[in-house]
Amino acid sequence: MKKIRFSLLYVTCLLLLLYIGCKNHNSSGKNSGEITDKNNSEKKAIDTAVYNKILQQLANGDTTGKWPAKAPYPLPGAILPYYRIVAFYGNLYSKRMGILGEIPKDSMFKKLRQEIAKWKAADSTLPVMPALHYIAVTAQGSPGKEGKHRMRMPFQQIDTIINWAKEINALVFVDIQVGHSTVKEEVPPLEKYLKMPQVHLGIDPEFSLKNGEIPGTKIGTFNADDVNAAIDFLADVVKKNNLPPKILIVHRFTQGMITDYEKIKKVPEVQVVMDMDGWGDKILKRSSYLRYIYKEPVQFTGFKLFYKNDIKKGKDQFYTPEELLKFIPKPIYIQYQ
């Protein structure tokens, strides 16, 4: 009798363990969009309803079907479209390349906070995230030792920008101007920074001279393969390091700066922003936005404002947040130079 009771107890426990195991297995993959958070092993997923609603707000009433642009949902932890990014751009070696590097750090932070306050007041629907957009590879008129017409900034400078960004909980963008080099050659040396969750990438076709011209004498170009090289590298970094999506900023202000835009990849690991980068009066800048950003949708849009070049003909040439929020689509990345 004791032997029978022991056997029944053993079978009961075995069945209970099997049931618990099956239940845990079945509950682990309800949504293919879920991933495991490496810190607490919880499942998190993009709320597609909220995501779609924000995209529709950014489309700003577009009736052509171009916007929102067609793209897969991002991995969890995506910054866009949940935040509008307001970035200061420049290089610490030069006071002429942008507000980042032109004035002392504390004054720069104060001015950045002022711009952020303006955007918060203009649009309360999206929180604003600050960013420091640093030119980590600069195009050069001289060929240099390697004949590439580009100069890589010392890591010490990039470290300084990252430390500055930590003071104000800002993102960091490392930007490359390839000169006679290539995206495939210039992005990998920055991998140790791109592994950091807060660090993202910018690429500038203006200074990509494929036929031997000197940077600054002609506007350069990227094709879809160039942009996709950056996307592939970033996607690989995200996968290997279990990171949230990276943001890729692509500068543009002419038709020829980006070719074959429809072949640019759209993947869950990378969020692409086409940034309207030209300077000049309002009519010219709006026209450029319509022709090269609106008409050739990729994913998200940005807009650059120049403290000096945009206001040479008067302050009325400098777009306000309220004016930019009337654009179709609304830019979600704002850069000040």
What is the three-state SS of 147-178? CCCEEECCHHHHHHHHHHHHHCCCEEEEEECC
- Asked whether residue 213 is domain-assigned, the answer is yes
Residue 310 is predicted with a pLDDT of: 79
Question: Is residue 42 domain-resident?
Answer: no
What is the domain range of residue 328?
Answer: 54-336
Q: Is residue 174 part of a domain?
A: yes
Residue 322: what are its φ and ψ, rounded to 5°? -60, -40
In a domain? residue 46: no
Q: What is the pLDDT of residue 313?
A: 63
Whether the predicted model's global pTM rises above the 0.75 cut: yes
Is the backbone of residue 220 left (phi > 0), alpha (psi -120 to 50) or beta?
beta
How many CA atoms does the CB half-sphere of 250 hold within 13 Å? Answer: 31
CATH number of the CATH domain containing 253: 3.20.20
Per-residue confidence (pLDDT) for residue 227, from 0 to 100:
98
Mean pLDDT by 10 residues, the chain (337 residues): 38 36 36 31 73 97 96 97 98 91 96 98 97 96 93 95 97 97 97 98 95 90 97 98 98 95 98 92 91 96 91 75 97 97
Cα distances (Å, whole numbers) of residue 37 to 57, 77, 279: 29, 10, 42
158 and 133 Cβ atoms separated by less than 8 Å: no
Number of domains composing the chain:
1
